[in-house]
């Protein structure tokens, strides 16, 4: 289980190797993604709180990167944080997420990206529920829910 210490370690000392890499030109990403998905994932944007379709969705399944379809989070570790964005306590695998120090807007935060294609997902904070204490605050537009068949 990842902890805040692990997250800081990755952001300072380097991230785990992804299973694969996906790299495309800006034009290829623009052709594949909606305008809003492109703004968020490729230009490091953010959606308005409580506006994302996945914010209040709790169907069983995996949350995959909208850009490269890499599994990022499992529905079993999603929780309602009240922040207005989908929140998770752990990535589906240690090497699914890339961590980078973010000093934009005069704040010190840890940005989370897809480790496969570098898509901006959101940020991680040390104010989540136990046992990890982590809250991955993720933009709905950066993910697609692959529902578990019933």
Distance CA 94, CA 89 (A): 12
Residue 137 falls in the annotated catalytic set: yes
**55, 65, 114, 137: which one is catalytic?**
137
Q: Where are the alpha helices (DSSP H) in 1-80?
A: 4-13, 26-32, 35-41
- Exposed/middle/buried for 150, CB within 10 Å: 0-12, 13-18, 19+? exposed
String of b and e for 9-30 (b: at least 16 CB within 10 Å)? ebbeeebeebeeeeeeeeeebe
Are the C-beta atoms of 121 and 114 separated by less than 8 Å?
A: yes
What is the token pair recorded at 3?
Answer: 């902890």
Catalytic (active-site) positions: 137
């Amino acid at each position: 289980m990842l902890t805040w210490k692990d997250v800081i370690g990755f952001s300072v000392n380097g991230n785990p190797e992804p299973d694969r890499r996906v790299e495309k030109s800006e034009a290829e990403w623009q052709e594949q993604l909606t305008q809003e998905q492109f703004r968020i994932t490729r230009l490091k944007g953010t959606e308005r709180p409580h506006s994302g379709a996945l914010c209040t969705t709790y169907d069983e399944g995996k949350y995959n990167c909208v850009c490269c379809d890499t599994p990022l989070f499992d529905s079993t570790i999603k929780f309602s944080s009240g922040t207005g964005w989908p929140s998770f306590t752990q990535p589906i695998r240690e090497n699914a997420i890339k961590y980078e120090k973010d000093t934009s807007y005069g704040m010190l935060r840890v940005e989370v990206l897809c480790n496969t294609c570098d898509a901006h997902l959101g940020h991680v904070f040390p104010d989540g529920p136990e046992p990890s204490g982590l809250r991955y605050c993720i933009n709905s537009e950066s993910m697609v829910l692959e529902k578990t068949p019933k």
